[in-house]
A and B are shown apart, each in its own frame.
Chain A
């Protein structure tokens, strides 16, 4: 034991091993992260969403006629599951739902084996919702099928970010489908509440700044660590809800994810005091702003019933955009080579 007296100075000049380059996605039809899509691919999806939405249902259902798509859901879902299912069926595909309750997952079957089983049953793509961050990457690596991430843990929810984008464009840039790094220049999008546990927040944070928007994150420190601002460019943290409101054209409210709080204590009345979106706050600070929420909403907690049902609310419109976007994403999954990757 040679006790040292040298004063440490971090030797920044040292050469160190580089992190490996990612091989994901293995399948060009996969949508694991919004980062899988470059702006051209996003534009293509937006164009296809509109085209498919307007297409005659009787010709539209020839596009993926009788193709097999599995929905694999480890978490409950209303919007995402139903809209993916409707989207796939609108294109003529056969869908089958496997949920963690009422399947062999309950008996201990792993994600890998469940995926391989679905592939053996003829599934050509898998839409996965999972409670563990990163699960879609594992599933894609093991099955090499197109995997569509329908929400993984606290990580990402790429189709939600795309439908949110489509909703914003419809209001702020009507008619625009080809997106560029300037498309949302000058637009501030605030995301409010439980950022820490939100996959919707992460996907939006990674997507919107690439189109020129500024993302303002707002919430208490327990639900919004400072490090969130380091996820990418164009992201700032603002703790003062009303200051953020005054600066924003879009207000995206999030639910507090009680199921993921993991022992974190949160005083609800304090939270509402500081961060609840009320009609009074909206009219005082953001009279023109578009109010969004990925759902499910908890009326009277993160926002009041009046705001949810009010004229600035785009919440149900978001749901409608979800079906169109998911048609485009499902079509891309099974028509490999189109759309491309970032």
Chain B
């Protein structure tokens, strides 16, 4: 029997409305009991084989949930594997990650979904595969969503590519809603972004790079919202991946006010960095959507503070070192994010911009869980999965990419000051990560 007692920590569970010192007993992968700090004693009716974690001075919260990661398997194991990606997730306090289907081959079948979920992959936190919306993510022919869902997929998307055709997107939204799946759109009108490698504007002009206009994102978000409106079906759920522009957030805000089920996420790099961070062709500042203008970045902060943004998702996109050591235009898009998300959110959203800790944690756990309907996750209410992160909310530390558990080092946050050091990450009652020494 696997019993863990987390004693004397300060529990913050936004979904359950808890913000107080508590003891938590985890048993058989579930939350068994919660009581006032110091109330649960090992050996006192909970068995003597209990492992006790002393969380005095630490925050205890539901394990973080990242609904947008690239674990690269199958087929791109030189960048990342499910084992290394989930190890990085655990180090970053994440206990569940939703894996995008742009693998090789694309995860457009129940077989690949099941392969990803096999214990042979060595995942150390929970993996939720997201299925491809269309065959090969080519945007032409929609997949069998019922079969994907039965195999374990929690949403559908063609991430990395948009679902561009109106008819295919309409069909995807309708078919996914019939089986209770969300549709995640990579909103990029690729007809406006051919050959482009950063945000369009003065900076791109100065660097001699072709730019991706903000309208390439916002126009597709607006198109998708129109399709949702036309479908007149409350089951339809559109989720906009990695929003990066003020106009896209404004469109989501408007849709929400008219009662549509339209949600969105933002990545830490889009609320922290701007196109200026591309500097002199830093390929670790190249991603899609690109780093935008300061006004767009400010709109992401605004959207987080005012609540229109539903989740923080990293878009963790590992690449081998040699793949990023090339000309900027030829470098692949994406940066890693799992190990830096909590530290950046606490450092900036909480400390600098005064977003209450409970709301920061909600954006990283309760809300993403609700968004994809991940039952028993994102809360530590009794009976939930024993997915827990224990961290020191005050600790400041420096992130060093070379110490990462990911296979990849492609991050613009190397050497940045983080706040909030993860002490333990517990996945379904097992310690998935333990800091080597308390900092």
- Chain A residues at the B interface, C-beta cutoff of 8 Å: 1-6, 8-12, 14-17, 19-20, 22, 24, 110-112, 130, 132-135, 137-138, 142, 152-156, 196, 199, 202, 225, 227-228, 230-231, 262-263
* B370 A1 Cβ-Cβ under 8 A: yes
- Report A292 CB to chain B, min CB distance, Å: 21
Cβ-based interface call for B299 (8 A): yes
Using Cβ atoms and an 8 Å threshold, which residues of chain A touch B253? 4, 8
Cβ-based interface call for B230 (8 A): no
Q: What's the Cα separation between A4 and B302 when bound, in Å? A: 11
* A4 B306 Cβ-Cβ under 8 A: yes
Using Cβ atoms and an 8 Å threshold, which residues of chain A touch B295? 10
Q: What's the Cα separation between A20 and B274 when bound, in Å? A: 11
In the complex, besides A142-B325, A154-B208, 7 extra interface pairs with C-beta distance below 8 angstroms are: A1-B263, A1-B370, A15-B352, A112-B326, A133-B209, A134-B208, A202-B206
* A12 B298 Cβ-Cβ under 8 A: yes
List the count of A-B residue pairs having beta carbons below 8 Å apart: 125
CB contact between A154 and one of B209, B273, B305, B330 (< 8 Å): that residue: B209
Using Cβ atoms and an 8 Å threshold, which residues of chain B touch A262? 194-195, 210
Using Cβ atoms and an 8 Å threshold, which residues of chain A touch B256? 1, 3-4
Cβ-based interface call for B272 (8 A): yes
Q: Which of B206, B210, B277, B295 has the most chain A CB within a 10 Å cutoff?
A: B206
* B281 A134 Cβ-Cβ under 8 A: yes
Q: Which 5 A-B pairs have the closest CB atoms?
A: A155-B208, A134-B281, A154-B208, A133-B208, A132-B327
Q: What's the Cα separation between A86 and B108 when bound, in Å? A: 59
Can you name 11 A-B pairs with beta carbons within 8 Å? Answer: A2-B307, A3-B308, A4-B307, A10-B298, A15-B352, A16-B272, A111-B326, A133-B208, A138-B327, A138-B328, A227-B202
- Report A115 CB to chain B, min CB distance, Å: 11
CB contact between B348 and one of A4, A12, A17, A225 (< 8 Å): that residue: A17
- Report A151 CB to chain B, min CB distance, Å: 10
Cβ-based interface call for B139 (8 A): no
B267-306, CB < 8 A from A? 272-274, 276-277, 279-281, 294-295, 297-299, 301-303, 305-306
Size class of the contact patch on chain B: 35 or more
With A8-B306, A112-B325, A134-B281 already in contact, the answer to whether A225 and B274 are too (CB < 8 A) is no
Cβ-based interface call for B121 (8 A): no
Using Cβ atoms and an 8 Å threshold, which residues of chain B touch A14? 298, 301, 352-353
Using Cβ atoms and an 8 Å threshold, which residues of chain A touch B261? 1
Using Cβ atoms and an 8 Å threshold, which residues of chain B touch A11? 298, 301-302, 305
Using Cβ atoms and an 8 Å threshold, which residues of chain A touch B427? none
Using Cβ atoms and an 8 Å threshold, which residues of chain B touch A154? 208-209
Q: What's the Cα separation between A10 and B253 when bound, in Å? A: 15
B192-237, CB < 8 A from A? 194-195, 201-202, 205-210
CB contact between B327 and one of A17, A130, A228, A231 (< 8 Å): that residue: A130
- Report B238 CB to chain A, min CB distance, Å: 12
Using Cβ atoms and an 8 Å threshold, which residues of chain A touch B367? 1
- Report A4 CB to chain B, min CB distance, Å: 4
Closest to B328 in A: A134
Closest to A130 in B: B327
Cβ-based interface call for B329 (8 A): yes
Using Cβ atoms and an 8 Å threshold, which residues of chain A touch B302? 8-11
Using Cβ atoms and an 8 Å threshold, which residues of chain A touch B370? 1
Q: What's the Cα separation between A112 and B205 when bound, in Å? A: 25
With A8-B253, A8-B299 already in contact, the answer to whether A111 and B272 are too (CB < 8 A) is no
- Report B415 CB to chain A, min CB distance, Å: 9
Using Cβ atoms and an 8 Å threshold, which residues of chain B touch A202? 206, 208
Q: What's the Cα separation between A202 and B207 when bound, in Å? A: 9
Closest to B325 in A: A112
* B327 A134 Cβ-Cβ under 8 A: yes
Cβ-based interface call for B371 (8 A): yes
CB contact between A17 and one of B272, B279, B308 (< 8 Å): that residue: B272
